[in-house]
Amino acid sequence: MIGKWSASFVRAGRSVAGSSAPVTYSLIALCCAVFLVGPASGLGPAYGTGDDLLAAQRAYFRRWGVIPAELFEGSAGSALTPATALFVHGSWVHLLGNMLFLYVFGAMTEERMGRVQFTLFYVGCGCLALLGYAAVNADSGQSLVGASGAISAVLGAFLYLFPRARVTSLLPFLFFLPVRFPAWVVLPFWAALQWLAAGRASDGPGVAYLAHLVGFGLGFGYASVRYGRPTSPTRVKPAPAPAPEGENQP
């Protein structure tokens, strides 16, 4: 049995390494693996059930997530949380929403940037997006987890690199009928929604929309400085809505 599992992992690893976007698929696999072994998935019997599980989840988010009120105190553990929080998600919906959008927009962006540059771009922009949110909400004691800041940066870069790429979206207010729009329509519309939501956001648990805006701006700005004219139009895989699931504040 162990031999079969090992062989399956080896084949999966070779498939990822030979793909056109191995970093994107590796990031998706890593985020899924971290979620499945952690208490947020609810699948690990070691974390218990009921109140024990909730307590384990709170402790887990506080250990690996960004807590703005503690981030700038100077401790080594807190300083590392902008990086660790990128791979932690608060729920199944949070994880699947983020990974879907990374899958849809990450592969083409990685192919354009290259593997090493895309990796540094993803992690760097994701950390800066979390730091930006923490700086504005320095008194908040809520744990902030999720890859949405990094994925928002990917969306910003995608908008600059492929503005005329047609994105197929399934919009809830159109009864989830597939509609194809160019990226220059879909992604600015998403950014506008984040801006409006950020203005209404409370200090309690929820979605850190400001981190999305910071990430999106960083991604678009980086791509505009680093690259020349945008790439010719192409098609993009379907997505369920023009927005990733947000950074989660459990």
Residue 89 a catalytic site member: no
Give the torsion sign (CA, 32, 96, 105, 68): negative
Phi and psi dihedrals of 30, rounded to 5? -65, -45
Query: Which spans in 76-227 are helix H?
Result: 76-84, 92-113, 115-136, 148-161, 183-200, 209-226
H/E stretch holding 237 reads strand 235-239
Residue 94 a catalytic site member: no
Q: Which tokens belong to 31?
A: 């985020």
User: Do the bridges between strand 206-207 and strand 248-249 make them parallel or antiparallel, or are there none, so unpaired?
Assistant: antiparallel
Q: Which of the residues 89, 94, 143, 148 is marked catalytic?
A: 148
Separation between Cα atoms, residue 68 and residue 47, nearest integer Å: 26
Catalytic residues: 148, 212
